[in-house]
Amino acid sequence: MGNLEPLQPITPSNSYAERALIGAVLANGKAFDEIGSRITADMFSEESLRKVWGIISDAHRNSGSCGMEAVAPSIAALGSDYTQLMAGIVVQFPVCEWAMLGRYCSAVRDSHARREIQRIAKLAEWESGRADGTAEDVLQQLVSGAERIADGMDADRPAVSAGDAAMRLMQETEANWKSGNYMSGLRCGLEGLDIKLRGFRPGGMYVVAARPGAGKSALGLTLATRMAKNEGRGLVWSGEMKAEELMARAIAAKLHIPFDEVITGMWRDHNGDYHRISADKMDKVIKAAQDLRNIPVEIDDREGITVAQLAARARRMKRQSAGLKFLVADYIGLMSASASVQRSGRRVEIVTEISGDLAKLARELDIPVIVLTQLNRENEKRDDRRPTLSDIRESGAIEQDARCVIGIYREEMSIRLKMGPDGRPVRNSNETDAAYMKRADELTAMLQDVRGKAELIVLKNRGGTTGIVPALYDGPGTWFRDVTEGERSPAW
């Protein structure tokens, strides 16, 4: 019988390219200026070549010169074997092949990346056999390791000159000028917000911030549904609600009926008794559910996922023919960081890592990433409860990473906080009947005036203006509309 032992994997290396790079730099020190930022000593497969490149890098950093004369003394100090190695490289590569320099560099980086892939795969194999830990921990380590390799490979992307960047900009500007298009990003379907932001620009992280109950999930779903209808397929991650609940919200908004009627098919009368909704209304619910098939949105409702897990799905969607136009994450406080940071238990570090990774994902996929986050209670201590940037919960990194921050404010919600269970204002101690009645009438009138109204406050807008965008909020249907649409306009 033949040998049935499994074949051992071959360790990737490209000794020729490694020596060619060293020979090029020794022949012409200026070659290091071209490749020095892309090649590090650990990328060489042979220990001897790693040491030689380390000497070359040190010489360039210390004196700006790394030719043969500059490094020869340090090479000689390593012994005769290294002197002979260098002599052989100089003979084999006597001149710098400028035309091949980039190709040699890419070959060395590719071999190094392949070795790193083998290393993390072996580590994952070993970790998966341990009794402690979980499969999720192993997967997280595997994904994190793969992302580090991918980040390193990104160094092969060439820098763009100022002139080339300007020409690309002018192509985009001229196309918009000829078509009369004032948008520089994706339309969200709320006209006032589109005008203020000029659209949601690919590559940016957009933050929607609000107190619990103010409607941040409602705004996230409104943006996702309308943006998908206008621009193309999107991905929504929901850490709070299942996919079915999100779609129930969309149906409730379309039909102008309460959310719970869509979920249960029942309605409640003034006596507290429940009844089936009419057959006609049930047909409309079913029709709206069927219409949602035409909205290209995919929903990921896995709880507590990491950015790496979300990114894996987003990258896969981006590669598919339907593509990926945007991503909505609801909300950042329910996501998990990498295993090591998560174990620390320090919320600021956890949120900082998650925010930074989401911002990087927007740049990588060249899509707008809309991130929902909570505000702290500081605004509730102020007379004017409109949110500010300093109210963002848990980490200032969210504000820094964001291209744009949108705060939600509803005066109706603030007034209702002053009301009791009976719907009347809570009476202050030592308040006279006359004073209470006057204040109650004023609050009731104010409540009626602001009912169904909202403010989308653009707190930060990199490259644009800030300010308040008026909007309408449908409480029973949990949906936002532009003020120009009217309360009974189609939700989507």
At 305-357, the pLDDT tens digits run 888 889 888 988 998 899 999 999 998 988 988 877 877 778 888 889 899 99
Contact 305, 335 (CB under 8 A): yes
Whether residue 25 is found in the same domain as residue 110: yes
How many CB atoms within 10 Å of residue 445? Answer: 10
Residue 84 lies in a domain: yes
Question: Residue 188 domain-assigned?
Answer: no
The pLDDT value given to residue 217: 92
- Residue 2 pLDDT: 57
Q: Amino acid identity, residue 180?
A: G
- Whether the per-residue pLDDT at 89 is higher than 60: the answer is yes
Q: Is residue 485 included in any domain, yes or no?
A: no
Give one DSSP letter per residue of 82-93, joined into a string.
HHHHHHHHHHH-
Which residues constitute the domain of residue 94? 15-151
**One domain, residues 244 and 140:** no
Assign 7 a pLDDT band (cuts: 50, 70, 90). Answer: low
- Residue in this structure with the two tokens 């899509």, named with its chain if needed: 367
Residue 300 dihedral angles phi and psi, to the nearest 5°: -110, 110
Give the residue from 119, 151, 183 where a domain finishes. 151
Closest CA to 214 of 424, 332, 385: 385
Cα–Cα distance measured from residue 237 to residue 33, given in angstroms and rounded to the nearest whole number: 44
> DSSP secondary structure string, 122-139?
HHHHHHHT-SSS-HHHHH
Of 64, 67, 66, 83, the residue nearest 75 (C-alpha): 83
Q: Are residues 227 and 113 part of one domain?
A: no
> What's the predicted TM-score (pTM) here?
0.71
Residue 416 is assigned to a structural domain of this protein: no
Distance CA 88, CA 23 (A): 10
Of the three residues 363, 378, 404, the one that is the final residue of a domain is 404
Residue bearing the bigger pLDDT, 97 or 379:
97
Same domain assignment for residues 206 and 345: yes
The residues that bridge with 407 in the sheet, in sequence order, are 209, 457
Torsion of CA 405, 330, 355, 458, to 10 degrees: 0
Strand duo 234-238 + 205-210: pairing? unpaired
The per-residue pLDDT for range 378-400, each reduced to its tens digit, is 777 777 788 888 888 776 788 88
Same-domain status, 237 and 122: no
pLDDT band at 456 (very low <50, low <70, confident <90, very high): very high
Average pLDDT over residues 128-147: 74
- Taking a C-beta distance cutoff of 8 angstroms, is the pair 366, 326 a contact? no
127 with 213, same domain: the answer is no
- What's the CATH number where 282 sits? 3.40.50.300
Provide the mean pLDDT of the chain: 87
Do 260 and 395 have their domain in common? Answer: yes
Kind of pairing, strands 479-482 and 467-474?
A: antiparallel
- How far apart CA 23 and CA 460 sit, in angstroms, is 51
Dist. CA 77–CA 60, nearest whole Å: 18
DSSP 13-58: --HHHHHHHHHHHHH-TTHHHHHTTT--GGG-SSHHHHHHHHHHHH
pLDDT at 312: 85
Q: Are 224 and 217 in contact (CB under 8 A)?
A: no
Q: What average pLDDT does range 80-96 have in this prediction?
A: 88
Q: Is pLDDT above 70 for 4?
A: no
Q: Which of 152-156, 189-193, 200-204, 463-467 has the lowest mean pLDDT?
A: 152-156
Give the mean model confidence (pLDDT) for residues 190-209.
94
Instruction: Read off the tokens for 64.
Output: 């700006």
365 with 267, same domain?
Answer: yes
Model confidence at 409: pLDDT above 80: yes
- 385 in a structural domain: yes
To the nearest 10 degrees (0 to 180), the angle between helices 15-27 and 80-92 is 90
Question: What pLDDT band is residue 3 in, cutting at 50, 70 and 90?
Answer: low
pLDDT for position 124 = 83
- Statement: residue 151 has pLDDT above 80: no
Residue 145 half-sphere exposure toward CB, CA atoms < 13 A: 18
Q: Residue 169, SS3? A: helix
Strand partners for 479? 474
Same domain, 293 and 382: yes
13-23 pLDDT per residue, tens: 899 999 999 99
Residue 158 lies in a domain: no
Residue 113: pLDDT above 70?
yes
Residue 33 lies in a domain: yes
- pLDDT score of 445: 85
Q: Within 10 Å of residue 109's Cβ, how many Cβ atoms?
A: 21
Domain tally for the chain? 2
Tokens for 389?
């940037």
Please indicate, yes or no, whether residues 137 and 221 belong to a single structural domain of this protein. no
Choose the final residue of a domain: 372, 389, 404: 404
DSSP bridge partners of 271: none
Arithmetic mean of pLDDT, 70-93 = 90
- 433 occurs within a structural domain: no
Query: Do 219 and 312 lie in a common domain?
Result: yes
Answer yes or no: do 85 and 233 share one domain: no
Instruction: Report the CATH number that the domain containing residue 123 is assigned in CATH.
Output: 1.10.860.10
**Sorting pLDDT into bands at 50, 70 and 90, what band is 220?**
very high
Is 324 or 86 the better-scoring residue by pLDDT?
324
